Amino acid sequence: MAALRRTLQSLCRISREKSSTLRRLPSQNAAIVCRNASAWTFVPDSPPDTLGETTKMNLFQSLTSAMDIALSTDQTAVIFGEDVAFGGVFRCTVGLADKYGKDRVFNTPLCEQGIVGFGIGMASVGATAIAEIQFADYIYPAFDQIVNEAAKFRYRSGNVFDVGGLTIRAPWGAVGHGALYHSQSPEAFFSHVPGIKVVIPRSPIQAKGLLLSCIRDKNPCIFFEPKVLYRAAVEQVPVGDYMIPLEEAEVLVEGSDVTLVAWGTQLHVMHEVARLAQEKLGVSCEVIDLKTIVPWDAETVCKSVKKTGRLLVAHEAPITGGFAGEVAATVQAECFLHLEAPIQRVCGYDTPFPHIFEPFYLPDKWRCLEAVKKMINF
């Protein structure tokens, strides 16, 4: 299985291929991900001036930068998992073992429940443990350790013990041809678990700041990394130490007619939906990046829906039991008198994630645009 997994490291390289149909780009840096109807462009953010010097980084480089800073500022911090010592199958830990030593960046046996359990143990005595699960699809063997142990460690001991120093990183989401076990988005499973935080970034700048927040947060965190963005997403990232707050959503594009909520890769699809809705329907969309799945920022979302009166939530994961359901139910309860159309959820179908059918499976911009149309015409 390890060998099979390793071959997958090349998966995200396809994201650099360019599509001839989408050459009208707002920025030279923008990368196009080619997945037929599910194609979208990555539009870089401008780094805030306050964070100082920047350099061009893709997503995996910005994660390495975050971990480099975490290790240099906290002597108790260690990174471990399957194949992290040579740099990781996605290159996220390149150079760190050489820089910090084999007792701080090391391989573990191939056993996910062991990786998370080991990390919990380290954190239980006050160390900072950054554990890597090679693909989010393989986090389930550690589900018991995450749900019954990490999440409940503080509560069950009356705050006498905690494992706040634990962060679990895992590559996440669709990648073009990852099929059933290299494409999953398992955040909703964890959203039902009080005691852990689940965070998903959309870009290199966000990834670095959010990962550093997770590592330094006093609670166990799961940090899902959209693997299709590892190489595809490139932008100017501050080289210094900075953090982006957890539990806060961000309004990326202001609009007045429809609120679009997403996270991770899907955020970039939403950007295009907003552009298409404006061009084709004359509809003004407000785009929100949720960033933290739990505990989520209902306030920012509800405030937006009270203004627009319409909400579309989209995610790659299957619709039934997906996190969009939680967002929709909360917004319905909080914004009932403001809603002008039923809340729309555009998500993966209730099937396992397929190989050759991926372009038909994903909640692409055309499916999302259709949902916007429906809401406007309701």
Partner 1 sequence: MEEHNPFSDTTSFKRSKHNVRQEITAVGEDKPLFPGASSSYTEKLKFLGGDVYDPIPVYRVMNKMGSIIDPSQDPGLDQAFVEKMYKSMTKLNAMDKIMYESQRQGRISFYMTSYGEEGTHIGSAAALDDKDIIYGQYREGGVLLWRDFPLEKMMNQCYGNNEDAGKGRQMPVHYGSKEHSFAAISSPLATQMPHAAGAAFALKRAGLDICTVCYFGDGAASEGDAHAALNFAATLDAPCIFFCRNNGYAISTPTSEQYRGDGIACRGPAYGITSIRVDGNDVFAVYNATKSAREIAVTESKPVLIEAMTYRIGHHSTSDDSSAYRSVDEVKYWDKEDHPIGRLRNYMLSKDWWDVDREKAWMVEVKKEVMQKFQAAEKLKKPSPQYMLTDVFDKPSKRLSQQAEELKKHVQQYKEHYPTDKFDEL
Output 78 or 269, the one with its CB closest to partner 1: 78
Question: Which of residues 1, 3, 4, 160 is near partner 1 by CB under 8 A?
Answer: 160
Q: What angle do CA 90, 93, 97 make, to 5 degrees?
A: 140
Per annotation, catalytic residue among 182, 268, 271, 315: 182
| Residue 141 sits in the site that holds partner 1 (CB under 8 A) | yes
For the record, the structure tokens of 243 come out as 């953090």
- Cβ(313)–Cβ(285) under 8 Å? no
Q: Is omega for the bond preceding 220 within 30 degrees of 0, making it cis?
A: no
| Residue 282 sits in the site that holds partner 1 (CB under 8 A) | no
Output 40 or 100, the one with its CB closest to partner 1: 100
- The gap from C-alpha 99 to its chain's centroid, in whole angstroms, comes to 27
Coil, strand or helix: which one is 154? helix
| Residue 162 sits in the site that holds partner 1 (CB under 8 A) | yes
Residue 362's contacts (CB-CB under 8 Å, 6 or more residues apart) are: 35, 38, 174, 316, 348
Question: Which of residues 53, 158, 279, 377 is near partner 1 by CB under 8 A?
Answer: 158
Environment class of 329 (CB within 10 Å of its CB; exposed 0-12, middle 13-18, buried 19+): exposed
| Residue 325 sits in the site that holds partner 1 (CB under 8 A) | no
| Residue 298 sits in the site that holds partner 1 (CB under 8 A) | yes
- Cβ(368)–Cβ(258) under 8 Å? no
Smallest separation (angstroms) from partner 1 to the CB of 337? 19
| Residue 86 sits in the site that holds partner 1 (CB under 8 A) | no
Applying CB under 8 A, the site for partner 1 has a residue count of 53
C-alpha to C-alpha distance for 135 and 149, rounded to whole angstroms: 21
Q: Does residue 112 have an active-site annotation?
A: yes
| Residue 306 sits in the site that holds partner 1 (CB under 8 A) | no
Output 62 or 292, the one with its CB closest to partner 1: 292
Q: Does residue 53 have an active-site annotation?
A: no
Question: Which of residues 9, 29, 54, 76 is near partner 1 by CB under 8 A?
Answer: 76
- For 371, half-sphere exposure in the C-beta direction (CA atoms, 13 angstrom radius) is 25
Interaction site with partner 1 (CB under 8 A): 75-76, 78, 101-104, 106, 108-109, 111, 113-114, 116-127, 129, 141, 144-145, 148-149, 152-162, 164, 194-195, 197, 218-219, 247, 295, 297-299
- Which residue numbers are catalytic? 112, 182
